[in-house]
Chain A
Amino acid sequence: MSSFYFRNVYFKTIYDQRRLTLWIGIGLIAAALYTTLLFPVIRDISGFEEFVDELPDFILSLVGGALEFTTPEGYLNTQPFSVLAPLLMLTYAVVRGSALVAGEEESHTLDQLLANPISRTSLVAQKSLGLLTGLMVLAVLLWASIQVGAAIAGFSVDLWNLTQIVFNLFLLAASAGMLAAGIGAATGKRGNAGGITAGVLVAGWLFNAIQQLAAVLEWTRFISVFWYYNGNNILLNGTIAWHSMVLFGVAAASIVAGAYVFQRRDLR
């Protein structure tokens, strides 16, 4: 019964994103199964490692740096965790984050929603929790699909490291989602929210790639969320706690600042 979803703003948010969650979820499952099931084939191709080594460094840096395809962890670190999974998770986070407050404001439903006895802070909190729940569901799907795929393909992945990288991916997407939601809440403009966040992500992606190529630019990695996501190649080396804390901090600061401005500004 659909009235289940209309109990409060949180469940309404889950309802609003149900279709996107479904499609992105399917995408993540497909990416996880595709990469894991292909691992035995890639591993056994003679000369593949050499072929990869001959690729230009810049290409390699864009897909996660030095590649190592003989162990499951090294392989999965590149795919899906360097490109496909972040791309899907971040797409979800930016689309939903910019829709949370700014999307509702632009479609002129925010007035009537706030004509009900609900505070603006509570509105932002419930909607943000809705988005975080969606991201968590996707993260768990990815985590489970990789294990299922690995089991089918007949290899195993370090469970603890897998959990850590999936959690960091969740945090990466959460920071992007909260940034988009925060900008949207502060400005009421969906274009600002999505555009600025996408810009920050693309810049971060490039910084993270470039710093791998030139030692003089190594410091730039500290301004990229992607460095904090998987700069340590978590599947191989485990996570670094403060990297995760930085992602968490970006998410928290973005949404708190957005809610603070939203609380004090005029609705459009």
Chain B
Amino acid sequence: MPAAIETHGLTKFYGEHVGLRDLTLEVEPGEVFGLLGPNGAGKTTTIRLLLDFIKPTRGSATVLGLDSHAGSMEIRRRTGYLPGDFISYPNLAAGEVFDYFIHLRGGERPGDLQAMCERFKLDASRKFGELSRGNRQKVGLVQAYMGGPELVVLDEPTSGLDPLLQIEFQELVRERRAAGATQFISSHLLHEVEAICDRVGIIREGQLVALEKIEALKARARSAMTVEVADDATAAAEAFGNIADIEVTEVSGHRITLSSAGDIDAVIKTAARFEVTSFESHPPALDEVFMAYYGGENDSGESNTEEAEERDYS
């Protein structure tokens, strides 16, 4: 079975500006792949190259085993797509938008359309132009998933969705995954990617800087722990500091903050020697990994906008 998506040295320049540079990756059939990066990193460029909306400057891509340009019609027949900032015809009812796309896809009315509208509590009789941002995004999600396409490509799928609907969306992703669909999801939201993706590529300034399983990324991340002791924290902090792989990041009053690469057994046993009033452990978050990739290299001359954006991730 061919890879669902395969790119080799995929590169896109917009004049002088680099949209994407030498992207080589493979997405397995049935996989939920997350493409993670800040705005302007090249996520949308990647997706638009895959769907033949733009032509690569160099390199090639195959989607569902077909060349992204030569086989584009067949690819699009078998792929559901949600653009970033989804906007549709303002004077058409949501149901009419579905109707139009259904016809363009062969005319067979998908059996799951009604159920999906109910699931997302979408009133398909209302005009798209009158819908709130969240409801518009629902229209986008429904049209991308209707008919159960074997590949679904989503650009920032949960922007505008409230938390309840985000959970509903995550559930949908898992269901489609169980049904065997491949899903390619771009996002700048770590928790989202963490919750639904099997594997993640981190992209920065048009370049892939990491490509790993979520589990592997998490393993790299250090979990943070906060311990509060009844007495002065200095003695306890010293004891924790002596444990291998444990770093004391902050001591203030009765509170000690630790960072651990994984083994917390030694921390607990050490803590047991003191009178502990509070113990909190925070699971490893991708934020830290992400920040490591982002903040690690500090290219001089880079604009500050990206740093500003980075703060949004925490």
**Is B76 an interface position by the 8 A CB rule?**
yes
The answer to whether A115 and B81 touch across the interface, beta carbons within 8 angstroms, is yes
Are A108 and B85 interface neighbours, CB within 8 A?
yes
CB-based nearest B residue for A111: B83
| B12, chain A: closest CB distance, angstroms | 9
B86 sits at the interface (CB 8 A): yes
| Cross-chain contact B103 with A8 (CB below 8 angstroms) | yes
Provide the residues of chain A in CB contact with B107, threshold 8 Å: 7
In Å, the complex CA distance between A176 and B88 comes to 28
List the B residue with the shortest CB-CB distance to A265.
Answer: B55
| Contact assessment for A267 and B54 in the assembled complex, using a CB-CB cutoff below 8 Å | yes
Q: Which of A6, A117, A119 contacts B100 (CB 8 A)?
A: A6
Taking a contact as CB atoms closer than 8 A, the residue among B55, B89, B99, B104 that contacts A116 in the complex is B104
A107 to B101, CA, bound (A): 17
Which chain B residues border A117 with CB–CB below 8 Å? 73-74, 76-77, 104-106
The residues in A between 21 and 56 inclusive whose CB is less than 8 angstroms from any CB of B are: none
Contact with B along A90-115 (1 / 0, CB 8 A): 00000000000000000111011111
The answer to whether B48 touches A116, judged by C-beta atoms less than 8 angstroms apart, is no
Is B293 positioned at the interface, with any CB of A under 8 Å from its CB?
A: no
Known contacts: A109-B87, A112-B86, A117-B74. The answer to whether A7 contacts B103 by CB under 8 A is yes
Across the interface, A112 reaches (CB within 8 A) one of B48, B54, B73, B83, namely B83
Cα of A6 to Cα of B89 in the assembled complex, Å: 12
Q: Which residues of A contact B53 (CB under 8 A)?
A: 111, 114, 266-267
Structural contact, A109 and B77, CB atoms closer than 8 A: no
Contact (Cβ within 8 A) B54 A118: no
> Does A237 make an interface contact (CB < 8 A)?
no
Closest residue on chain A to residue B75 by CB atoms: A117
CB distance from B296 to the nearest CB of A (A): 33
Q: Is B51 an interface residue (CB 8 A)?
A: yes
Tell me, yes or no, whether B96 is within 8 Å of chain A by CB. Answer: yes
Given contacts A108-B85, A117-B105, A267-B54, contact A12 B100 (CB under 8 A): yes
Q: Tell me the nearest residue of chain A to B105, going by C-beta.
A: A116
Tell me, rounded to whole Å, the shortest Cβ–Cβ distance linking A245 to chain B. Answer: 35
Chain A: how many interface residues by the 8 Å CB criterion?
A: 22
Given A6-B96, A266-B53, A266-B55, do A116 and B101 touch, yes or no (CB 8 Å)? yes
Residues of chain A within 8 A of B137, CB atoms compared: none
> Nearest Cβ in chain B — how far from A104, in angstroms?
9
In the bound complex, residues from chain A placing their C-beta under 8 Å from that of B79 are 115
User: Which of B53, B83, B103, B104 has the most C-beta atoms of chain A within 10 angstroms of its own C-beta?
Assistant: B104
Give the residues in chain A near B182, CB-CB below 8 Å.
Answer: none
Partner of B104, one of A2, A107, A118, A264: A118
A116 partner residues in chain B, CB cutoff 8 A: 76, 101, 104-105
CB distance from A107 to the nearest CB of B (A): 7
Q: Are B76 and A109 in contact (CB under 8 A)?
A: no
B143 at the binding interface (Cβ < 8 Å): yes
CB-CB under 8 A from A2, the residues of chain B are 96
Residues of A within 8 Å of B140, CB to CB, are 112
Q: Which residue of A lies closest to B155 (CB)?
A: A111
Q: Complex formed: what's the CA distance from A8 to B101 in Å?
A: 9
CA distance A133 to B103 in the complex (A): 21
Assembled-state Cα–Cα distance A117/B78 (Å):
9
A9 contacts B104, C-beta separation under 8 Å: yes
Residue of A2, A107, A109 with most chain B CB atoms under a 10 A cut-off: A109
Which residues of B65-81 are within 8 A (CB) of A?
73-74, 76-77, 79, 81
Contacts of A107 in B (CB 8 A): 87
Give residues 35-81 of B contacting A (CB, 8 Å). Answer: 48, 51, 53-55, 73-74, 76-77, 79, 81
Which 7 pairs, one residue from A and one from B, show the smallest C-beta to C-beta distance? Answer: A266-B54, A116-B104, A115-B81, A117-B77, A6-B100, A267-B53, A6-B99
| Contact sample, A vs B, 7 pairs, CB 8 Å cutoff | A8-B104, A111-B53, A112-B86, A114-B53, A115-B81, A117-B105, A267-B53
> Apart from A9-B104, A117-B73, A118-B73, what are 20 other A-B pairs with CB-CB below 8 Å?
A6-B99, A6-B100, A7-B103, A7-B107, A8-B103, A8-B104, A12-B100, A108-B87, A109-B87, A112-B83, A112-B86, A112-B88, A112-B140, A114-B76, A116-B104, A117-B76, A117-B105, A119-B73, A266-B54, A267-B53
